[in-house]
Amino acid sequence: MERQNAETLGVRRTGWAALDRDPQQDTIEFLCPHCGQRDHKNARRERTLYRFTDGFLQDLQGEVTQFHACKKYLRVVPVVLLHDQDEVRRFAAVFADEPMAITAAGVLRKTA
Ligand SMILES: [Zn+2]
């Protein structure tokens, strides 16, 4: 039996897109597809591994993590790097069909 981790989109905010939190923190935010809770993890992958894809810098390999609330393993992929409010707004438009939304402050929330 093949076991594969569920995948979920992640957002890594930096600079002007992360003014609501400590800029020293470098985290990836995501929603769990199992329980719908929001969580974050420390970003481990170097930003130089991110590739310009569909108008954003994205990590297409992603990072595996265990979700805090339900203990399920997830692959957070792709991880989209957002630098400023313009990118946050573009992200919200491009990923509008995902079961999540991103607020003006860049915070993910579940919509479905
Ligand atoms: Zn969960």
**pLDDT tens string for the chain (112 positions)?**
446 788 999 999 988 888 777 877 899 999 888 888 889 999 999 999 999 998 999 999 999 999 988 999 999 999 999 998 889 888 888 877 776 666 666 677 777 6
Rounded Cα–Cα distance for residues 16 and 73 (Å): 30
The strand ranges marked E within 1-112 are 6-13, 27-31, 38-42, 51-53, 56-59, 63-66, 73-82, 100-102, 108-110
CA of 73 to the centre of ligand 1 (A): 9
CA of 69 to the centre of ligand 1 (A): 6
CA of 36 to the centre of ligand 1 (A): 6
Question: How much is the CA Rg of the chain, to the nearest whole Å?
Answer: 13
CA of 101 to the centre of ligand 1 (A): 17
Rounded Cα–Cα distance for residues 63 and 89 (Å): 24
Query: Has residue 1 been placed in a domain?
Result: no
CA of 84 to the centre of ligand 1 (A): 28
The pLDDT value given to residue 82: 93
The pLDDT value given to residue 1: 46
Query: Has residue 101 been placed in a domain?
Result: yes
Q: What is the model's pTM? A: 0.85
The pLDDT value given to residue 103: 65
Domain extent, residue 78, equals 6-110
**How many domains are there within the chain?**
1
CA of 75 to the centre of ligand 1 (A): 12
Q: Any idea what DSSP says for residue 22? A: -
Query: Has residue 94 been placed in a domain?
Result: yes
The pLDDT value given to residue 101: 65
Query: Has residue 65 been placed in a domain?
Result: yes
